[in-house]
Structure 1
């Protein structure tokens, strides 16, 4: 499962995401995808909003609004640090390790 899918799953039906969607006047699924796309794009080289737009198909203005609503680039960095348990700069290995422990395979 990709980082995008992991974050999308965590954001799905989350009350904060629903409140943000209501405040912005957009579908909660759009905000879920926006959060996942922004978090995934944050650790890549390039413009976070532009990369997330390519990944999700969501308009850049909506993505920029979501980014600011969650606390800007700094909050995305903190979120990625939380996911990167071993602090090697790559949260994907940590998610894979967590998933293997969760499903009893290592």
Structure 2
């Protein structure tokens, strides 16, 4: 989980995460934890939002808002692929590509 922890630590300081957190009334750290929980729940059997709610204690409504802002279940799949090694050989493309893809910016 070291790679995931490192990336999520960088994401927490991202302005897009801060803006999303402000819009839905959470801290950036809570949004980052919610994204991690949604990503983990996405790979498990059952409902993604319900699984993330169980692990974070956040309401399903709040998690659904975050999921919607991320781009839905498909975005979680892209996040998983990016975390799984879609980073360029020179080290570029990882975090910036992930955030750009998740927030609809190329």
Q: TM-score, normalised by structure 1?
A: 0.69
Is 1:9 the counterpart of 2:9 in the alignment? yes
Pairwise CA RMSD of aligned residues? Answer: 2.1
Residue 25 (structure 1) shift = 2.5
**Which aligned runs of 4 or more in structure 1 are off by greater than 3 angstroms?**
1-8
Structure whose alpha-carbon radius of gyration is higher: 1
Structure 1 unaligned regions, length at least 5 = 87-106
Q: Is the 8 A contact 1:7 1:36 kept in 2?
A: no
Q: TM-score, normalised by structure 2?
A: 0.69
Partner Cα distance (1:11, 1:82) in 2: 13
Residue 9 (structure 1) shift = 2.2
Structure 2 unaligned regions, length at least 5 = 87-106
Residue 3 (structure 1) shift = 7.5
Partner of 1:67: 67
Is 1:36 the counterpart of 2:24 in the alignment? no
Find the residue that maps to 1:58 and give its secondary structure: coil
Partner Cα distance (1:30, 1:71) in 2: 18
Partner of 1:83: 83
Partner of 2:47: 47
